[in-house]
Structure 1
Amino acid sequence: MTVENSEHWYDPQATTFGDRVAGAREQTGMSQADLAKRLGIKVKTLVSWENDVSEPRANKLSMMAGLLNVSLRWLLTGEGDGPTDEGADSRLVMNAAAALSEIHDVRAQLAASSARLARLEESLRDMREAVPVD
């Protein structure tokens, strides 16, 4: 998306699908890496969508509309519910999503650490039982 005035980036006659994706993504405050991670795709795939080199499949398109808080119709045609100027609300939602993702990661790390601790404890018990007591 190459627009000089970021407040008025959307021109229904001139924007492409890729422009709408990039503009809505930027409006939510997400980086390409953030959106790609949430969609479960590679950054280069998202870049190709934003550059109008390729287009997403229906399932990713639907997910993207939800993540960007726009209607599927707007994403495809530019008509309908596009991004709002409620940047603070969008950032709040994205920050909450990021926090939930981090909680999920921490929970997975804790589960792995707990399993490792159990293995070490069992190993120590085995060593203690192997040593004869006088």
Structure 2
Amino acid sequence: MFTGRVPHQRVTDYYSVLDALVYPRKSMRLTELVTPLKPMEAMAQGKPVLASDVGGHRELIRHAENGYLFAADDPAALASAIEVMFQNRVSHEKLVARGRAFVEIERNWINSVGRYEPIYATLARACDNAGF
């Protein structure tokens, strides 16, 4: 079933009926550089995440620790990752807990915004020194 756009307040309803979320991105400049938000939403919802091993996903997912990675552009690798995930249901609770903890600890606003503070401070000093 393809639902089309789902209102934000209903996302949790949809996630609640899923066994896992799969993000098969193709390897291209955009997917190697941009970190997607959807896998973090799934981890925060307590769902196993499977994702292609492009740069944006590798930034979020540590294979078999807080999700599963598979080779981008490789349908057989995707199928194999899904099979492995369902064969390892016993370890799901730990994997899901680590995924949720990753989002709570690493990807909160304080940590995300805090990474930029030194950059802006350096730029502000450079502007002051240049007379701007």
Same fold flag (TM > 0.5) = no
TM normalised by structure 2 equals: 0.41
Larger Rg belongs to: 1
